[in-house]
């Protein structure tokens, strides 16, 4: 699939575009090389695009090891943005929950407490090509619970039901909650552990970590994020992970040639993307509603037009070479700039 380059916004003259190409790195050394890139070029969010989903966990562990062993290690959170599998329901639920956890964290990056931590997101081309809810829609299905806030106890239970959480006798798995008197045990689908919420009337008096095995409460926390179950996020999937990245995000592409081939293999070629010379449909906001594949390429070009670090030779998304796009948009910006 080819995308008309005129769809891409020109790169601002003030934008600093940094591309670092590293070659000759053996697979065993890649985690260390990536860790050094993160240290030398700090950013609030790093996206690492690699080939094999089966190696995501091992890559995350190796990066965490090298990061901890490095000089003056900062706070690094590593999340995997998995592919949504077809088949077994529990596996699909877990993958969808992990994807929503990444989106939720990227939205939460605007919080001052989270801006002090670096977020590393590992993804594959297949995961990147699977659409997600637009950020505005996602925001309507997410609620923050803050210790000490006034929140009606019954309103919280109504919210949990509307978010498709299951009421159980014991809260043990993501998407479940349990009620005992003025206490609500809650396991958000995007969390790695459940929490115990203690109400005094309609005041959320305390939030503590809950051990799902012993059912005992532990360390207090100031706030948690409650996200609707994956089934409520299946409609209106017209955005990509890249729509959630801040403009200051950096990205590293491991083995770009293989990534290009994967994009060419996975990108739909069934005519769903409108030709560049055909008019687009209007969205609900009155703007142009671009086909998903073109929105993906547009978002990707915007990301790498801001800042990127690349391990290899080229960057390709949805069959369109981003260096070619960047060259085209840079030429467009240069032609429109006044002569010096």
Mean pLDDT computed over 181-210:
95
pLDDT at 294: 55
Q: 303 near 45, Cβ under 8 Å?
A: no
Q: Is the pLDDT of residue 266 over 50?
A: yes
pLDDT at 18: 60
Distance, in Å, from the CA atom of 184 to the CA atom of 89, rounded to the nearest integer, reads 27
Question: What is the band of 37 on the pLDDT scale with cuts at 50, 70, 90?
Answer: confident
Q: Which residues is 184 bridged to in the sheet? A: 179, 197
pLDDT at 256: 77
Q: Is the pLDDT of residue 11 over 50?
A: no
Q: Which residues is 273 bridged to in the sheet? A: none
Distance, in Å, from the CA atom of 114 to the CA atom of 252, rounded to the nearest integer, reads 22
Q: Is the pLDDT of residue 24 over 90?
A: no
Q: Which residues is 197 bridged to in the sheet? A: 184, 207
Q: Is the pLDDT of residue 288 over 60?
A: no
Q: In the chain, which segments carry CATH 3.30.2060.10?
A: 142-227
Asked which of 99-113, 230-244, 247-261, 269-283 is least confident by mean pLDDT, the reply is 269-283
Please report the beta strands in the chain, taking only residues with DSSP state E, as ranges in sequence order: 45-49, 76-81, 118-123, 142-146, 166-167, 176-180, 183-187, 195-200, 203-210, 217-220, 223-227, 250-253, 281-282, 288-289, 316-317, 320-321
Mean pLDDT computed over 167-176:
94
Closest CA to 238 of 132, 318, 137: 132
CATH number of the domain at 5-135+237-336, please? 3.40.50
142-227: CATH superfamily: Penicillin-binding protein 1b domain (3.30.2060.10)
Residue 285 token pair:
């906001």
pLDDT at 89: 80
Q: Is the pLDDT of residue 250 over 90?
A: no
pLDDT at 110: 53
Question: What is the band of 53 on the pLDDT scale with cuts at 50, 70, 90?
Answer: confident
Name the residue with tokens 């929950």. Answer: 97
Q: Which residues is 178 bridged to in the sheet? A: 185
Q: 178 near 167, Cβ under 8 Å?
A: yes
Average pLDDT of the chain is 75
Give, in order, the Cα–Cα distances in Å from 307 to each of 147, 150, 256, 286, 293.
38, 42, 16, 30, 22
Q: In the chain, which segments carry CATH 3.40.50?
A: 5-135+237-336
pLDDT at 122: 95
Cα pseudo-dihedral 81, 120, 63, 323, rounded to 10: 90
pLDDT at 291: 52
Question: What is the band of 269 on the pLDDT scale with cuts at 50, 70, 90?
Answer: low
Name the residue with tokens 């200051």. Answer: 248
pLDDT at 325: 35
Distance, in Å, from the CA atom of 46 to the CA atom of 241, rounded to the nearest integer, reads 12
What percentage of residues in the chain have a pLDDT greater than 70? 70
Question: What is the band of 145 on the pLDDT scale with cuts at 50, 70, 90?
Answer: very high
269 Cβ contact partners less than 8 Å away, ≥ 6 residues apart: 1
Question: What is the band of 296 on the pLDDT scale with cuts at 50, 70, 90?
Answer: low
């Amino acid at each position: 699939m080819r995308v008309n380059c005129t769809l891409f916004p020109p790169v601002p003259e003030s934008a600093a575009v940094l591309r670092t190409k590293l070659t000759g790195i053996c697979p065993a050394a890649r985690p260390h090389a990536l860790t050094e890139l993160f240290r030398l070029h700090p950013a609030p969010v790093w996206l690492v695009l690699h080939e094999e989903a089966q190696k995501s966990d091992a890559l995350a562990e190796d990066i965490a090891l090298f990061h901890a062993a490095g000089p003056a290690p900062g706070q690094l959170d590593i999340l995997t943005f998995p592919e949504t599998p077809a088949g077994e329901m529990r596996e699909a639920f877990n993958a969808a929950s992990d994807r929503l956890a990444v989106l939720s964290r990227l939205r939460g990056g605007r919080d001052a407490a989270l801006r002090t931590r670096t977020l590393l997101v590992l993804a594959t081309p297949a995961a990147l090509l699977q659409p997600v809810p637009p950020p505005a829609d996602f925001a309507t299905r997410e609620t923050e619970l803050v210790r000490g806030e006034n929140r009606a106890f019954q309103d919280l239970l109504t919210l949990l039901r509307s978010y498709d959480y299951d009421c159980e006798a014991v809260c043990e798995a993501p998407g479940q909650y349990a009620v005992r008197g003025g206490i609500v045990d809650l396991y958000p689908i995007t969390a790695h552990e459940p929490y115990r919420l203690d109400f005094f009337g309609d005041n959320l008096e305390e939030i503590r970590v809950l051990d799902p095995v012993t059912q005992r409460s532990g360390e207090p926390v100031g706030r948690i994020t409650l996200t609707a179950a994956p089934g409520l996020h299946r409609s209106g999937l017209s955005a990509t992970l890249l729509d959630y990245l801040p403009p200051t995000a950096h990205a590293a592409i491991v083995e770009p040639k293989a990534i290009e081939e994967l994009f060419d293999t996975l990108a739909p070629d069934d005519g769903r993307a409108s030709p560049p010379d055909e008019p687009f449909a209007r969205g609900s906001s009155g703007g142009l509603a671009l086909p998903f594949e073109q929105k993906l390429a547009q978002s990707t070009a915007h990301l790498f037009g801001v800042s990127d670090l690349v391990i290899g030779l080229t960057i390709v998304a949805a069959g369109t070479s981003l260096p070619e796009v960047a060259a085209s948009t840079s030429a467009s910006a240069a032609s429109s700039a006044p002569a010096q």
